[in-house]
Amino acid sequence: MFIATADAKGQCDCSFRAGLPGFVRVLDQTTLVYPEYRGNGILANISENAHMGLMFIDFLRDTIGLHVNGKTRLIENSELLQRLDISDEVRQDIAVKGDRRPERWVLVELEEAYIHCSKHIPQLVKHEKTIAWETDDSRLKGGDYFKVAACQTRRST
């Protein structure tokens, strides 16, 4: 999914989040939760401005999208474990050790949701990819692929 946030001054950021199918969990008809991991940089925006837009796009099969807009708040693993409406899968995610354990979660209270029509969404083909998890090696993370390291307006994430 793509997520859009803004800080208190309105400075926007759009980022990408991915995981295994079901990594975004539905708690009830108006509440979603998804994990945040080490190194994700939009958390400051959420603490300053609770509004977030999420966009889910199926590029592989049905070529359709879903827009979700709502108010968010950060929730720690311990607080999420106290909720009665979380699934065993979420409890298992929290129990994972190391860098693949969520640092915290983002709870999204839905304000609106609507379909993004499929006519302009391309159908893509999935390829296998080796991922170097648990690394801070910038070369393995993509390095300066777009040659923006020297750009003074660059935001760190």
Predicted confidence (pLDDT) at residue 134 exceeds the cutoff of 80? no
The residue behind tokens 């660059």 is 154
| C-beta of residue 38 within 8 angstroms of C-beta of residue 46 | no
Tell me the pLDDT band of 153, cut-offs 50, 70 and 90. low
Exposure string for 72-99, b = 16+ CB within 10 A, e = fewer: beebebeebeeeeebeeebeebbeeeee
For residues 90 and 65, the model is more confident at 65
pLDDT of 105 reads: 92
| C-beta of residue 28 within 8 angstroms of C-beta of residue 42 | no
Q: What's the rounded Cα separation, in Å, for the pair 124 and 105?
A: 29
For residues 109 and 145, the model is more confident at 109
Identity of the highest mean pLDDT range in 29-33, 36-40, 95-99, 148-152: 29-33
Where are the domains positioned within the chain? 2-120
25: Cβ contacts below 8 Å, ≥ 6 apart: 32, 33, 34, 86, 87, 89, 90
Average pLDDT of the chain is 87
Q: What's the rounded Cα separation, in Å, for the pair 51 and 86?
A: 23
- Which tokens in the block code for residue 81? 């474990």
Q: Is the pTM of this model over 0.85?
A: no
Kindly state the percentage of the chain with pLDDT values over 90: 50
Superfamily of 2-120 according to CATH: Electron Transport, Fmn-binding Protein; Chain A (2.30.110.10)
pLDDT of 39 reads: 62
pLDDT of 152 reads: 61
Determine which of 4-8, 18-22, 49-53, 108-112 has the lowest per-residue pLDDT on average. Answer: 18-22
pLDDT of 40 reads: 61
Q: What's the rounded Cα separation, in Å, for the pair 133 and 38?
A: 11
For residues 17 and 70, the model is more confident at 70
Average pLDDT on 28-44 reads 82
